[in-house]
Amino acid sequence: AVLLALVSWQATASDPIRVNGFVCKNPMEVNADNFFKAAALDKPRVTNKVGSNVTLINVMQIAGLNTLGISIARIDYAPLGQNPPHTHPRATEILTVLEGTLYVGFVTSNQPAPNRNKFLSKVLNKGDVFVFPAGLIHFQFNPNPHKPAIAIAALSSQNPGAITIANAVFGSDPQISDDVLAKAFQVEKNTIDWLQAQFWENNHN
């Protein structure tokens, strides 16, 4: 019994302790750099083919965020660009517009008829704030064909996650059966095959 206790103590003493999958640092070794990143969030980003770029700063970039339940993102929108319908499985998001105008919205979870999935939307101008509840499908769209837009979002998790709906459904690897998707979307299989043949680009960095 003593031998087992010693082996157990040695394993505990030598193995790193993890919380949320991340190694906890000895408090005596913590310094300011563990809570800092020169993220250059004031600089514009290049957008992709859907017309947006999400620069997320989470626990992967700042180790000191672990267990603190918060992260931040800068989102750049090209003219007529969008951050397409997606969800954050582990976080509520609060977004503010820094430049331009955004049309934003989210869809509620499944409800009995006649409410079903209610769509809530708003046009946001510079300085406006909007909240997207955790886990719900939401989007942002820049309706201006001539000017870009910029937003900052705070999320209530150190690792909020993101599931872009079109990418997940039509761009999965391996692909979901077109029989399944044709039945789910009530369309012909060749429509599903065409969608699955597209390149589904990720706009989250």
Percent of the chain with pLDDT over 70: 92
What's CA 110's distance to the chain center, in Å? 21
The domain in which residue 154 lies consists of 39-163
Task: Compute the distance between CA of residue 55 and CA of residue 149 in angstroms, rounded to an integer.
Answer: 14
d(CA 65, CA 18): 14
Q: Are residues 99 and 138 both part of a single domain?
A: yes
Confidence grade of residue 27 (pLDDT, cut at 50, 70, 90): confident
Residue 178 located in a structural domain? yes
Residues 151 and 199 in one domain: no
Residues belonging to the binding site for oxalate are 83, 88, 93
Structurally, the chain folds into a number of domains equal to 2
CA contacts within 13 A on the Cβ side of 10: 6
Q: Let me know if residue 17 belongs to a domain.
A: no
Annotated binding site: 83, 86, 88, 93, 138
**Residue 198 located in a structural domain:** yes
- What distance in Å separates the CA atoms of residue 131 and residue 127, rounded to the nearest whole number? 14
**Contact call for residues 137 and 108 (beta carbons, < 8 A):** no
**pLDDT (tens digit per residue) in 110-159:** 988 877 899 999 999 999 999 999 999 999 999 999 999 999 999 999 99
What whole-number distance in Å separates Cα of residue 137 and Cα of residue 199?
21
101 and 197 share a domain?
A: no
Binding residue positions for Mn(2+): 86, 88, 93, 138
